[in-house]
Amino acid sequence: MLKVTIDLEAIRHNYHVLKSESGVEVMPVVKADAYSHGIERVAGTLFAEGARTFGVGTVDEGVLLRKSLPQATIYSLLGPLGLDDYKNLIIFGIKPVIHSWDQLTTLAECLTLKDQLRIGLKFDTGMSRLGFKPEACGRLVEFFRVNPALNPDMICSHLAFADNPDMGHQARQQLEVLNSVCEAFNQSGYKHKRSLANSAAILNFQQSLGDLARPGIALYGGNPFVNTAIAEKGRRLKQAMHVSAPVLSVHQLPKGQGISYGLTFTAPRDMRVAIIGCGYADNYARSLSNKSWMLFDGHRLPVLGRVCMQLTAVDVSSVPEISFGDQVFVLGGPGSGCIDVHELAGWWKTISYEVFCLLGKNEKKYINF
């Protein structure tokens, strides 16, 4: 029963903050349904603000976005994952970011003599997740000479420590490796855009900006430097997602009485409680039991007892005006009591990315078109 509200003005604001900070072309990352903010609405909003290149996760996401933004440049950051993906790259004009020889050779086999496809190449510069090894440059150059239908127009990598101010040396090492790869392709006559900077690097690692910056979490209002000495660098970002749920019941809880499964909370005094229509079926995690807070009319309401499948109890002793049908915020909300995504993530023992991705799977509405 959670209701998700996405403030498109916040997303526009964040895009312009990141565009101003970077000074280079910005490729909004809208993978995973724009971190569950809604890929078509988010990308459409940013296209109207001047964004022309977008990063999706899968080719299927690229196909979906192509239908709503026929003029956009779209990179599939995971590249093709199945045979249909290889065909759709050509049909829908999506640029795959290729990270393995299997992908590259299969793609070449799928092309006809008349096909021409621009692609991105991903290199592993130190994260050890996906990507070609830097020493593969020579072999890759030879491959492209034999397969002229494929043309690499972006070379990228992924930073492992951009959001950790104490690990700047690791980020610099990765940048040096990527620069050496890019230089090898330049010398071989393959002109391309260099892309390394994510949200954190845009705000704090200007050397990495290259030609194409790829912000993700910051677009949606997540501060990559929260709880660090440089948290101020993300101060201007605005959280775009707000999530609320209805009050289903309000009743008294006498002193000494437990509540919810296992009676893990016992009232230390006579209390008034509200039962809120949300739980782990709505992706409001059970791990938030007895440790999270909700918001109503500027008042923080502690969660009491275990979070259930579709119900959660909160203490409303301080808000006598609350009643059936009122909306209580589990994320965001108006005023100074706004529940910050990083705050909720801390209670949840996770990160802002997961909070957005999970809660955003509920029904969404948009404001400030």
Catalytic residues: 31, 261
Phi, psi of 249 (to 5 degrees): -160, 150
- As a whole number of angstroms, the distance between CA 171 and CA 152 comes to 24
Residue appearing with tokens 């006559």: 189
Give me Rg for the CA atoms of the chain.
Answer: 24
Residue appearing with tokens 């951009």: 162
Strands 293-296 and 299-304: antiparallel
- As a whole number of angstroms, the distance between CA 350 and CA 75 comes to 28
N- to C-terminal Cα separation, the chain: 24
| DSSP 3-state of 26 | strand
What is the H or E stretch that residue 145 is in?
helix 137-146
| Burial of 139 (C-beta count, 10 Å sphere; 0-12/13-18/19+) | exposed
Work out the number of other CB atoms within 10 angstroms of the CB of residue 195: 29
- As a whole number of angstroms, the distance between CA 259 and CA 272 comes to 12
- As a whole number of angstroms, the distance between CA 242 and CA 219 comes to 15
- As a whole number of angstroms, the distance between CA 163 and CA 353 comes to 13
